[in-house]
Structure 1
Amino acid sequence: AIALYHAFEPPKVLEYCNSAQSVFRAGLNDDPYFCMQISKSASIPRVVGRERETGLLLLEKV
Structure 2
Amino acid sequence: MRGPGCAQVRDAPGFTASQLTRLNDVGAIELGFPHGMLADDRMRAVTHGDLRIGTHR
Q: State the TM-score, normalized to the length of structure 2.
A: 0.27
The structure that is helix-richer by fraction is: 2
The structure that is strand-richer by fraction is: 1
Largest Rg, 1 or 2? 2
